[in-house]
Amino acid sequence: MRVTRRGDFYLATRITGPRHNLLALRFAAEGELVARPLVTDRSPTGDGELDESTLVVAALAGVAAGNLELRTDYVVAALEYRRDDTRPESIYTDLAIEIVRRIAG
C-alpha cells in the first residue's frame, strides 16, 4: 500500500497482481462544516462493479477507526475513487485507516 499527496488530497493505492484500488481523501479544514463528503468517481467511463454507497461507508468507517486509534479528529470533506477498481469495497476501510495513520504519524 502506498500513500501520497496530490494537492489537498491524500491518496492511498493498493496493487496486488490483478487487484487494484485507489482512494483519495480531502479532509475538512479547521472550522469547515461537512454534512456529507463530496464523492467523485474518477474512472474514465464510469463503468465498474464497485458500489459507491458501500465504498463510502467503508472509507468513512476507516477514518473513524483511524481517529479512534490515534486520537485525531479528521473529517472527510471529499472522497475520490474509481468505480472500475476491484472488489471488495471493504478494502477501502483499510486504505482510509492507512491514510489517517500516515498523516497523523
pTM (2 d.p.): 0.93
With a cut of 80, say whether residue 11 has pLDDT above it.
Answer: yes
Q: What are the backbone dihedrals phi and psi of residue 27, each rounded to the nearest 5 degrees, phi first?
A: -95, 150
Place of cell 470533506: 77
Q: Which amino acid is at 32?
A: E
Query: What is the tens place of the pLDDT at every residue in 48-81?
Result: 899 999 999 999 999 999 999 999 999 999 999 9
Q: Which class for 51: exposed (0-12), middle (13-18), buried (19 or more C-beta within 10 A)?
A: middle
The neighbouring-strand residues paired with 78 are 26, 38
Query: What is the tens place of the pLDDT at every residue in 90-105?
Result: 999 999 999 999 999 7
Instruction: Give the pLDDT of residue 105.
Output: 78
